[in-house]
Every structure is written in structure tokens, then in C-alpha cells.
Structure 1
Amino acid sequence: MSTEISEKINCLIIGSGPAGYTAAIYASRANLKPVLYQGIQPGGQLTITTEVENYPGYPEGVQGPEMMVDFEKQAQRMGTDIRYGLATKVDFSSQPLKVQIDEEKWVEANSVIIATGASAKWLGLDSEQRLNGYGVSACAVCDGFFFKGKEAAIVGAGDTAAEEALYLSKICSQVHMIVRRGEMRASKVMQERVLKAENIKVYWNSETEEIVGEKKVEAVKIKNNQTGAITEVPVSAFFVAIGHQPNSDIFKGFIDTDEAGYIKTIPGSSKTNIEGVFAAGDVQDKIYRQAVTSAGSGCMAALDAERYLGEKGLH
């Protein structure tokens, strides 16, 4: 396979969610001449979110896709070279860093900011995809507010699912929690809190048969794995909390990740174990996973890259 280099880039940004675009804004202002490849889903996870009400500066709220268009326009106005394309392979074994785009051309970069995000894991139901954004969501903290006083279902058994169920219990009248086995994976403390909450009903040894509704979520069919019985429960929202998958596969072998695949950064920075490579947003953050924290870490990555390039005399 040929690794002939077609282009040399000073600061390459991979990914186009809040982290990637914020990094691009800062890198452009620092005159790093950034090139940003948008990846498979330009705008990232926010493009499958409807209303965003918790991002500062939008007093009336904003649609997720619209917000990402605003981010893109701002990065473009600052001078970022924004391109369609997907990073498909990397070679970080030596400087300059090499990245393959669309399985075709290789580019060389003095610095790389990884902002490839994480993808929510889904159950794989047709009804789940059809009603995504119409009551189906993978983020209770983002979307729970819209179902205030209503009944909601949540599927999952880990700490995130338990946290989100408790969060929903403060907003929704009733929370129906669907757990596949006879026990949860969540920590004992989180389990106790869930079981103590009066308005959380746990369905043990159960899974989601189908989400019911034509234009929006109206009910969920829950199947008991032991008896085979199916119960239809009226709900207005259905939250999937079975985990996220960080989009870090192409960097493995070069970049240190944790057991779940999240990129490890040096605490208090966006630096990875490879000099000149920085990571921002959900690909390295499994705790907060909010647009505003992603944007903040994108800012950090650009400032770290600027400092690095300055020290190397490449600014």
C-alpha cells in the first residue's frame, strides 16, 4: 500500500462536533491554518438531537443541527479549511504525523486534534430508529426536561442508566426501568438509590420488544425473558442507556485508551501519549458528555496545539 503524501498540514482536526469546531475556531485565530475533516457524521451527535436548551447563548433554545451549522460557519469565518472526508488510518510512529483520508490519500500533519466523539449504543429496533428524536433519546440529561410530569422508560443496568433513571425520577411522574438480567451492573450505592426511589419501577429479566407510536413515542412493549409475557406500558419517552462507543478504533496501537476505548489524556490537558496529538470531546470524556464540556475541551486542545507548535518552531 502506497503512503505517498499528498499534502502537508500544520494543524489537522479530525471530527466536527462541538469539540472539533471549537478547536478549529481557536486554532484559526492563532493562525495555525487548521484543516478540519468532518467525518462520517458532520456535526456529530448533536445532529440527531432536536431541541438543545442547556447550551449558553441560546436563550430560546436551538435545534441541534442548526447549532452545529452555527459552529461550522464561525469556524469557517475564522479561516478553517473545512472538508468532507473520513480519517480511515493513522501512522503516528514518527513525526510528522500521518493520516489517511477516505482510504485513499495520506496527509502529513505537524499536530493532530482528535475530536471523533462517541456513538451511542442502540438496541437495534426499527421502532427505535424511526422514533429517534421523537421521544427516543440516548441522553436523559439532554432531553428529559421535555417530558416533565410524564411517564418515561429507560433501558440499561449500569451506573449511567441508574444515574439517568434517578435524574428522570425528579422530572417525570413515573420511570419504568428495563433491566435485562436479574441484577444490575451499577455500583451498590446507585442500585440502592434506584430501588429507594418511589417512582422508579424496575422490570427485571426483561427487554424491549418494541417502542409503540406512529409520530411520537406512546408506549413500550416489555417482554419478560422468564415467562415470555409481554406488557405494554404507556410512556411519552424512551431512553437508551446501554453505553457509548468512543470512535477511537483507528488510533489504537498508537494512542493509549482505557478498557472501554476512551482516549487517555494527561490530567489537566488534552495531551495524549504521542507528542503533537491531542484529544477533545466525547472520544476522551465518558463522564460529562455534554456539548458545552466538549466545546471547552476543544478550546484546550487548540491552545495545547498552539503551545506545542510554538515550542517546536512550527507555529
Structure 2
Amino acid sequence: MYDIVIVGAGTAGLSAAIYGVRAGKKVLVLEGQNFGGQIINSPEIENYPGIAKTSGFEFASGLYEQASNLGADIEFEQVVEVEKQGKGFIVHTGGRQIECLAVILATGAKNRPLGVEKENQLIGMGISYCATCDGAFFRDQKTAVVGGGNTALEDAEFLSNFCEKVYVIHRRDEFRGEQWLSDNLRKKDNVEFVMDSVVTDIIGENGVQGVIIKNVKTGEETELSVTGLFVAIGQMPDNKAFEKLVDLDSGGYIQAKEDCKTSCEGIFAAGDCRTKGVRQLATAAADGAVAGLAACEYINKSQ
């Protein structure tokens, strides 16, 4: 019997484990793939408070070792279901059932890929899914943002402050994002909209040197010379296994506010898997702390 079972060993999950074991609870972290989450693929991190510069792997490894050394059990198993039973829960994996008093869901979210050749190869070498994380590395360079929602427009706005040129590539003739965002971008001399277009190929072997775009109406292909390609076409949370237990929004994110409490008492959601406005490394760690302490408080009150 565990006090807390945490689903996911990313920044939020491991931060929650640290706070849980420091509060004297018996904590198990279950991860279906690799520890660290999305950040483990980032070659450089320069926006985490108190750490001037590190790599995603170093950051994630430090969290893993800290949680483990403090006493958290971290095991690599895929959680397929969480079941409410009496005052506690049963967490089902592919091979066993684990009883606990509280659950923290920290399953994260995956960036939706473009699905073009070389995309995976060049992640961290010109391709990024987070302008606020990596944009500063492209100062005075030409970049492109792919997407038409608020995130894409906000990314373009951010990049326009220090990039020589920012192309905004969108497959439709109108943006899905808010009008005021696109209006602000139209006022900028270094921002150019490339509408009705999709990226069909990425140029470069050891780094992005350009992209090939195709106009979906005319079929015409054009080459854009850029060194940075920022993909902002949405994220994909993986919360379907918990949809019968906690409320999800239309995008599949767990409905939880800053207190990380879900619609099911005793289950908490932390990090990118929950409904929130800002998804950054610092906010994931903050969610982990909040969820970890909230789970401890819930257990203390229910005993």
C-alpha cells in the first residue's frame, strides 16, 4: 500500500514525488516510457530560475536522482486505469494492481508533429516546439512559425522582438487565433504571413537551413531560407485512461485549476496534462509542489 501513486515521471511528477516523500509519505512514481518528459530532448535550458544554463537531460536526471535518493520508488510501467475503491484507489498497470490513498496524474502532453521527413532528426538543431524556451538562440536570424492558433501567433510575436525575420506559415487563409494578435503582427516590418501553405520538406542535415512550403490551393512550392522552425500546431494529452474518473475538457486535458484538484476527490493533476494557460518548465515544477502537498493534506485529513 502506497500513500501516493504518481502517474508520470516528468518535471511535474518528479517534483510532486520530492514534496511527497519529504512530507513523510510513501510515494510510487509510475512511468510508461522514459523519465524526464518533453524537456529531456532540449539541448539547452536557460529560462529556469536559479539555473543559468543546463541541458534537458541534466535537469531531468537531477530531478530523478533527487526523488529517488529521498526515497521515492520510481518504476517503469504503463498505467492503464485508475479505479476508485472506498477511501482509496487501485492503480492498474499491465501486470499488477497497486493500492494507494491518493493519485497524482502528471501524464504531460506531446507536441503535435508536422509529420515531415527530418523533423525528428533536427529537433534541438533548429526545430523547436517552444519559442519561449528556445527562441533566444535565434537572435538576429530568420525563423518560421507553423500554426494558426493563439500559440503560433504569440510565438511569432515573441520571436519578432529579436529575430531578423519571422515567417508565419498557416494552412488556411484565416488564423484561428484571436484577431488582435494577428493585427499586432501585421504592424511589424519583420513578420510575414504565408497563408494557405504547409511545410512539405526541411532543408539541412546537421541543422535547419530552410523549408519547402506548398500552397494548398495552387500547388506551387517555394523555398524559405530559415535557421529556426517553430512548430505550434497543438499538443496531444494522453488522459483517455482516466476519462471515467476525472472531468476532461474538449481537448482532452484534465480539468483542474491552480490548486491541482480534479473532479474526483483524492486525485490531483499536475503539469501539462491539466487545463492551464502557461505550460513551461517552471510551472510544471510548481504544479508538482502544489499537487504533492495537496495530496499529503488530503491523506492527513482523511485518516
TM-score (norm 2): 0.97
Work out the number of aligned pairs and report it: 303
Higher alpha-carbon deviation: 253-262 or 142-151? 253-262
Whether 1:50 and 2:43 are equivalent positions in the alignment is: yes
Aligned to 1:99: 91
1:42, CA displacement in angstroms? 1.6
SS in 2 for 1:282: helix
Q: Is 1:211–1:220's contact at 8 Å kept on the other side of the alignment?
A: yes
SS in 1 for 2:120: helix
Q: Is 1:26–1:303's contact at 8 Å kept on the other side of the alignment?
A: yes
The sequence identity of aligned pairs, in percent, is 38
Aligned to 1:5: none
Higher alpha-carbon deviation: 159-168 or 90-99? 90-99
Q: Is 1:270–1:279's contact at 8 Å kept on the other side of the alignment?
A: yes
SS in 2 for 1:227: coil
1:67, CA displacement in angstroms? 0.5
SS in 2 for 1:260: coil
Identify which of 254, 258, 277 aligns with 1:287: 277
Q: Is 2:90–2:98's contact at 8 Å kept on the other side of the alignment?
A: yes
1:152, CA displacement in angstroms? 0.4
Whether 1:180 and 2:196 are equivalent positions in the alignment is: no
Identify which of 269, 272, 275 aligns with 2:265: 275
Aligned to 1:16: 9
Structure 1 unaligned runs (5+)?
1-7
Whether 1:258 and 2:249 are equivalent positions in the alignment is: yes
1:94, CA displacement in angstroms? 4.7
Aligned to 1:40: 33
SS in 2 for 1:288: coil
1:126, CA displacement in angstroms? 2.0
For residues 64-105 of structure 1, what are the alpha-carbon distances to aligned partners after superposition, in whole Å with 9 as ceiling and x for unaligned?
A: 01100000111111111111112122223654212111x221
Letter in 2 for 1:47: I
C-alpha distance in 2 between matches for 1:27 and 1:244: 28
Aligned to 2:81: 89
Aligned to 1:25: 18
C-alpha distance in 1 between matches for 2:99 and 2:86: 11
C-alpha distance in 2 between matches for 1:93 and 1:235: 55
TM-score (norm 1): 0.93
1:203, CA displacement in angstroms? 0.7
Q: Is 2:35–2:64's contact at 8 Å kept on the other side of the alignment?
A: no
Whether 1:151 and 2:170 are equivalent positions in the alignment is: no
For residues 26-50 of structure 1, what are the alpha-carbon distances to aligned partners after superposition, in whole Å with 9 as ceiling and x for unaligned?
A: 1001111101112323210011111
Q: Is 1:116–1:247's contact at 8 Å kept on the other side of the alignment?
A: yes
Identify which of 209, 214, 222 aligns with 2:213: 222
For residues 210-248 of structure 1, what are the alpha-carbon distances to aligned partners after superposition, in whole Å with 9 as ceiling and x for unaligned?
A: 111010000011111122111111111101000111221
Letter in 1 for 2:40: T
Identify which of 70, 76, 83 aligns with 1:78: 70
Q: Is 1:218–1:234's contact at 8 Å kept on the other side of the alignment?
A: yes
Whether 1:298 and 2:291 are equivalent positions in the alignment is: no
Q: Is 1:92–1:274's contact at 8 Å kept on the other side of the alignment?
A: no
Higher alpha-carbon deviation: 139-148 or 122-131? 122-131
Whether 1:64 and 2:56 are equivalent positions in the alignment is: yes
Q: Is 2:258–2:287's contact at 8 Å kept on the other side of the alignment?
A: no
Aligned to 1:234: 225
C-alpha distance in 1 between matches for 2:116 and 2:71: 42
C-alpha distance in 2 between matches for 1:237 and 1:173: 11
Letter in 2 for 1:85: E
C-alpha distance in 1 between matches for 2:301 and 2:101: 12
C-alpha distance in 2 between matches for 1:268 and 1:128: 34
